[in-house]
A and B are shown apart, each in its own frame.
Chain A
Amino acid sequence: MHESLFLELMFGGLLPLCPSLADRAAQAQGKTRIAPASNGVEIEEIHVVRRVALDAVKEADLTNMQLGLWFSADWEAKNGRSPPLIHLQELSAVEDDTGRVLSTERRLKQIEPLRGEVRGNTWKNAGGKQGPVVSLLLDAPARGAGRIKSVKGKAQVTLTKPVSLTFNDLAAVDGKILDHPDMKNLAALKLRFSTEEKDGRVSAKLSAR
């Protein structure tokens, strides 16, 4: 198939975007595909870092691997100014082909999207699809490793809109979990607000637990 016609058909929605066609499209554009897409998820980047540095403290994280995942889809709504929320609900052990586990317990504890919703700050738009990119910081593979055996998981991506809520009586909400008639689920966020007047200054605290 002629390259330009192929791209026109694909991006015009006339051809289904199955993995093999998507692979061919990436190749046709002279771009790299790291692995075939999996249900809309693409491996966006693998970045292995191996460094030595003079005077680095023992705990310095000089050797690691960043694995970028792009959650691409046809979204009905996209407010360009409102960040998406990403919750990585499951992630199976990531292991290289020498048997080294890259998703160690220490690394998993530092992957915030595994603990709940976090705001995404990278949004990618390519090939008619768009979605957030999440970067996972893992251990570096062994020097002799050639492949990652498996990257398997489940994530929920939520598009959002910003809602502004005003509390006009600070005394009425002092020390309480915030609730507001304009947002029925606000109390579920368990945000506690308090104020203190001291030494000619006002201190305002907002806690989330």
Chain B
Amino acid sequence: MNYASPWNRGRLSAWDVLDGERRLSLASEGTTGEGEGVTVERTYRRRTVEDLSLRLVVLEAVESKTFEFEFRDVELP
């Protein structure tokens, strides 16, 4: 799932619900869009959220470049 633009969601690379260090296995997963937003819902065979944790992997910028480009009279194949 690419949490794409225009909400900088491209920066959310992954998320998981953990029990200790172990990822919970999924019972189901669904995605819904609403306007320009998106919600990912995951269900797990588990009675309570107690002792569970959430782990995100977020992309942090390390280097950025801006490219301005212009091509003219490009031959078509």
Q: Does B25 contact A (CB under 8 A)?
A: no
In A146-161, which residues have CB < 8 Å from any B CB?
146-161
In B41-77, which residues have CB < 8 Å from any A CB?
41-49, 52-77
- CA A156 – CA B7 in complex, angstroms? 16
Indicate which residue in B17, B36, B59, B76 contacts A209 across the interface (CB closer than 8 Å): B36
Interface string of B1-14 (1 = CB under 8 A from A): 01111111111110
Residue pair B63, A119 in contact (C-beta under 8 Å): no
- CA A199 – CA B10 in complex, angstroms? 33
Q: Does A200 contact B (CB under 8 A)?
A: yes
Interface size class of A (residues with CB under 8 A): 35 or more
Chain B residue at minimum C-beta to C-beta distance from A86: B10
Give the residues in chain A near B41, CB-CB below 8 Å: 203-205
Known contacts A157-B65, A158-B64, A202-B47; is-contact A165 B58 (Cβ 8 Å): yes
Q: How far is the CB of A101 from chain B (nearest CB, A)?
A: 15
Q: A160-B62, A165-B57 are in contact. List 6 more A-B contacts (CB 8 A).
A: A38-B69, A39-B68, A148-B73, A162-B59, A167-B54, A207-B38
Ordered by A's residue number, 29 sampled pairs between the chains whose C-beta atoms are within 8 Å are: A38-B70, A38-B71, A39-B67, A115-B4, A115-B6, A146-B75, A149-B72, A150-B70, A150-B71, A156-B67, A157-B66, A160-B61, A161-B62, A162-B57, A164-B57, A168-B53, A183-B58, A189-B12, A191-B9, A200-B47, A201-B27, A201-B47, A202-B17, A203-B43, A204-B54, A205-B39, A206-B15, A208-B12, A209-B37
